Amino acid sequence: MGTLIDGCPAGLRLGVEDVQSELDRRLPPDTTITSARREKDEVQILSGVFEGFTTGAPITLLTLNRDVRSQDYDKLRLIARPGHADFPMRIKYGGFNDLRGGGRASGRLTVPIIVAGAIAKKLLHQIQIQVVAHTVQIHTIRLERSPPTETIRRVAYTNSVRCSDPATADRMAERIRQVKGEGDSVGGVVECIAEGVPAGLGDPFFDSLDADLAKIVFSIPAVKGFEVGLGFGAAEIKGSENNDPYAIREGEVVTLTNNAGGILGGLSSGMPIVVRVGFKPPSSIPKDQQTVNLKEMKDAIVQVTGRHDPCVVPKAVPVVEAVVAIVLADHCLRAQVIPRVIGKKEIG
Ligand SMILES: Cc1cc2nc3c(=O)[nH]c(=O)nc-3n(C[C@H](O)[C@H](O)[C@H](O)COP(=O)(O)O)c2cc1C
């Protein structure tokens, strides 16, 4: 998997370990709730970094796939998996598309997203913006109330589901195991919170902050829903309940509630940005499914075997964190809240 990042400021301290540590978070340790593919991703930095700092030149990174079994995808030459991208891909690319691992519709595409997100996060740390995500729903099991971000940061990665409440995490993991045992799969919801975002980032119409977030979020495979703040919940309440009242606290303008999720008119409001991302149940399931044989142009039955995720949500938590970081870093650079050159190197 290649990642090419252009426009990163010079002078950002960057080592391979900064990116590797983020990639390692993509793999929940408990293989009973994820795919048996271990995908130990080792990243290399090929360009754009010199003596431990970014140079301002494009940064190229490479992550090799170590655990591949391309034969698992052989039967896709004839049939289209229901719920996967095989059929529209074949039509768009005339059948020349790479089938292995799902090709460009593979969950592997989340590797370069995390790589780019690791660098975006380092940029955001320069101005104390922190982004954190956690699982708030698996199938019908919900985390009813999100804890403070400090708790999310401390607890979410202590369990393989990436949920900030250990008891709920156990129930979620059990549901994934149960559904996997039935030869089926489940979806869920990831919540992401960005704190320390200054007011006024974004644009009122094109490139509005929520539109940019939605666009990149929907580029993550298996995403089917996106909400900012109360989201669809705002459609069920009155204006008097939905409006976030303003107040002055410690000399700053704040709102006493945050139903807007930190974005008003496409611009950051200065309150935490809160988004939720809905993932569908992955399509690759060993149960019999109705499909078509594209060569014979006849109905057919398929069982999708191979090493697939019964639920993509645990792996997707750091991915959501990464895409939010990428959008915020872009907008910070555009607004020159983050400078084009960070610091100055001594001569000699
Ligand atoms: C981290 C991650 C892992 C995924 N793994 C699988 C998988 O093992 N099996 C599968 O059918 N889909 C998996 N997907 C989802 C497919 O890539 C996705 O459903 C497919 O590209 C079709 O696109 P769409 O669902 O966005 O319409 C994964 C997605 C993510 C984010």
Q: Given this model, what pLDDT does residue 239 score?
A: 98
Q: Given this model, what pLDDT does residue 69 score?
A: 66
Does ligand 1 have an atom closer than 6 angstroms to the CB of 316?
yes
Q: Given this model, what pLDDT does residue 306 score?
A: 76
Does ligand 1 have an atom closer than 6 angstroms to the CB of 221?
yes
Does ligand 1 have an atom closer than 6 angstroms to the CB of 185?
no
pLDDT above 90 (res 29): no
Does ligand 1 have an atom closer than 6 angstroms to the CB of 309?
yes
Tell me how many degrees the CA angle 163-104-138 measures, rounded to the nearest 5. Answer: 20
Can you tell me the distance from the alpha carbon of 164 to that of 150, in angstroms, rounded to the nearest whole number? 10
pLDDT above 80 (res 72): no
The CA radius of gyration of the chain, in Å to the nearest whole number, is: 21
pTM above 0.85, yes or no: yes
pLDDT above 80 (res 17): yes
Measured over the CA atoms of residue 228, residue 233, residue 237 and residue 241, the dihedral's sign is negative
Can you tell me the distance from the alpha carbon of 166 to that of 160, in angstroms, rounded to the nearest whole number? 10
Tokens of 300: 């057919």
Q: Given this model, what pLDDT does residue 160 score?
A: 95
Per the document, the length of the chain is 348
226-236 per-position pLDDT tens digit: 999 999 999 99
By mean pLDDT, which of 32-36, 224-228, 285-289 is the weakest? Answer: 32-36
pLDDT above 90 (res 22): yes
What is the average pLDDT value for the chain, to the nearest integer? 94
Q: How far is the CA of 173 from the centre of ligand 1 (A)?
A: 19
148-158 per-position pLDDT tens digit: 999 999 999 99
Q: Given this model, what pLDDT does residue 34 score?
A: 79
Residue 212: in which H helix or E strand, if any? helix 209-217
171-220 per-position pLDDT tens digit: 999 999 999 999 999 999 999 999 999 999 999 999 999 999 999 999 99
Q: How far is the CA of 329 from the centre of ligand 1 (A)?
A: 26
pLDDT band, residue 11 (cuts 50/70/90):
very high
**330: CB partners within 8 A, 6+ apart:** 120, 212
218-272 per-position pLDDT tens digit: 999 999 999 999 999 999 999 999 999 999 999 999 999 999 999 999 999 999 9
pLDDT above 80 (res 79): yes
For range 21-36, the mean pLDDT: 86
Does ligand 1 have an atom closer than 6 angstroms to the CB of 85?
yes
Nearest atom within ligand 1 for CA of residue 308:
8
Q: Given this model, what pLDDT does residue 137 score?
A: 98
Please indicate whether residue 76 or residue 45 has the higher confidence score (pLDDT).
45
pLDDT band, residue 68 (cuts 50/70/90):
low
